[in-house]
Amino acid sequence: MKRACIVLLVILANSSIAQNIWEPIPFPDSLVSVDINAEKEGVIFVATGYDPDFRGLFRSVDEGLNWDLLSLGVPYQEYIYSVRCNPEGELFVGTGSGIYRSFDDGNNFERVFHGGFNIVSINFSPSGEIYAGSWSNIFRSSDDGYSWDTLYFGGNIYFADIDFGPNGEIYTVGISYDGQGTGSGFNRSLDHGETWENIGITDEALFEIEVNSMGVILVGGLQSGVYISQNRGESFTFQYNSEVTALETDSQDHMIAGVTGYQYDDCLLSEDWGNTWASLYDTVFNPYINQISISPDNTVYLQCHSVSSQQYQLFKSINPILGIDDEITANEIIVFPNPADNIISLTNCDNAINNPYVMYNQYGQEILSGTAVHNSIDVSMLKPELYILEFEIGNKAIRKKVLIK
């Protein structure tokens, strides 16, 4: 996986500007997608649902040009709710009758959790445990799925999402169909699943939760908007006024959200944990987003709601949007002066002399390409905006930040 670093640059009005952030992924229009997963490099998994005759799990290793229908090893088509890959690359599929695991990208499956539960959410704790949410239950495996413990049992709660705090906290969000005060909203355990509290938000349906490296919690749902908590869920503050259909983050706490409202659907980017948001809307993609998945190279994949066969269901970002690393080492490019007025000079990059570069804006759109002649770039006509300057040195993508005054 390539490690990347940014550039704050500012581009001319007459530069050639690409209009699109997203491109469609080919997928049969006779199938209705319900989930997408791109957590394993080079592989896309898509679950289909609704019509029993067209349920299944599909895999592509060529960005959707070809799709293979995978078999879970049962004589009927399971409804698939959740598709996840753990950090070791093992595939886990949550279905209407349990959890299936594959060690070989879906060529072979075994059912590792039985019991007739609808497994609607799966996540992996920092310590490597597997957590699964269903109607009324939360389950945990500490041995890669070979055995399971029941952590929460009872009620009529749909546990839609699970995430973890930096000190072992377990957080879930969902909706209770037994009425207000019976488990809707936010639930937490501070003692490794021994006891649970319905706290902070207890009267709203929440379907998405993300926790950053500092333990700050963001939650969202179709009836609420985005809320933030900085005290482990004791209380929440309203953050963003849009109903949330999907929420996903990368390892550096950058966030992509699918949002909806009255005659309004969009995809948003936040690089400061929900304090500010920028639209990633373009004219190509279908903006009602059901699921978001981020690949190891920080390409963003979307599974979108489709109301007709004329609408694409699956999309990917044309260029990586997330995962910009600011660390500079002796073997990487150093840009100076920074801030700059007229000329940017590059050091520690002998292999980059006269090599091509590409500039992107902060949303991943390709804006400009050229050649850094003798490690220098003329930026005298540029105006202040955030852009990404990218080189490739030794098969490694290098991106740097520079501020143009």
Q: Could you tell me if 155 and 134 are in contact, meaning their C-beta atoms sit under 8 angstroms apart?
A: no
Domain boundary among 301, 317, 333: 317
If asked whether residues 119 and 199 sit together in one domain, one would say yes
Residue of 311, 297, 292 whose CA lies nearest to 35? 292
Beta strands in 271-395 (DSSP E): 278-279, 289-294, 300-304, 314-317, 334-336, 343-347, 356-361, 366-371, 376-378, 387-393
- Residues in CB range of 82: below 8 A, 6 or more apart: 35, 92, 93, 94, 119, 120, 121, 122
If asked whether residues 84 and 191 sit together in one domain, one would say yes
DSSP sequence for 189-217: ESSTTSS-EE-S--SS---EEEE-TT--E
Give the span between the Cα atoms of 158 and 165, in whole angstroms.
Answer: 21
Q: What is the pLDDT of residue 108?
A: 97
Q: Across-strand partners of 44?
A: 60
For the segment 12-30, the average pLDDT, to the nearest whole number, is 65
For the segment 18-33, the average pLDDT, to the nearest whole number, is 83
Output the six-digit token pair for 299.
Answer: 């390409």
If asked whether residues 111 and 226 sit together in one domain, one would say yes
Domain boundary among 257, 284, 317: 317
If asked whether residues 75 and 92 sit together in one domain, one would say yes
* 89-103, 211-225, 251-265: segment of lowest average pLDDT: 251-265
Domain boundary among 317, 335, 358: 317
If asked whether residues 117 and 170 sit together in one domain, one would say yes
Number of domains in the chain: 2
If asked whether residues 10 and 37 sit together in one domain, one would say no
* Confidence class for position 343, pLDDT limits 50, 70, 90: confident
Beta strand 170-176 pairing with 149-164: antiparallel
If asked whether residues 13 and 53 sit together in one domain, one would say no
Segment 79-106, tens digit of pLDDT: 999 999 999 999 999 999 899 999 999 9
Kindly state the greatest CA–CA separation across the chain. Answer: 69
Q: What is the pLDDT of residue 398?
A: 72
pTM of the model: 0.76
For the segment 284-308, the average pLDDT, to the nearest whole number, is 85
If asked whether residues 326 and 186 sit together in one domain, one would say no
If asked whether residues 157 and 292 sit together in one domain, one would say yes
Segment 364-388, tens digit of pLDDT: 667 777 877 767 777 777 777 666 7
Give the span between the Cα atoms of 386 and 400, in whole angstroms.
Answer: 11
Could you tell me the residue range of the domain that residue 327 belongs to? 1-18+321-405
Name the 3-class secondary structure at 172: strand
Segment 145-167, tens digit of pLDDT: 999 999 987 778 999 999 999 99
If asked whether residues 231 and 298 sit together in one domain, one would say yes
If asked whether residues 144 and 272 sit together in one domain, one would say yes
CATH number at residue 264: 2.130.10.10
CA 35 vs. chain centroid, Å, equals: 12
Output the six-digit token pair for 245.
Answer: 């259909």
Q: Does position 8 have pLDDT exceeding 50, yes or no?
A: no
Q: Does position 339 have pLDDT exceeding 80, yes or no?
A: no
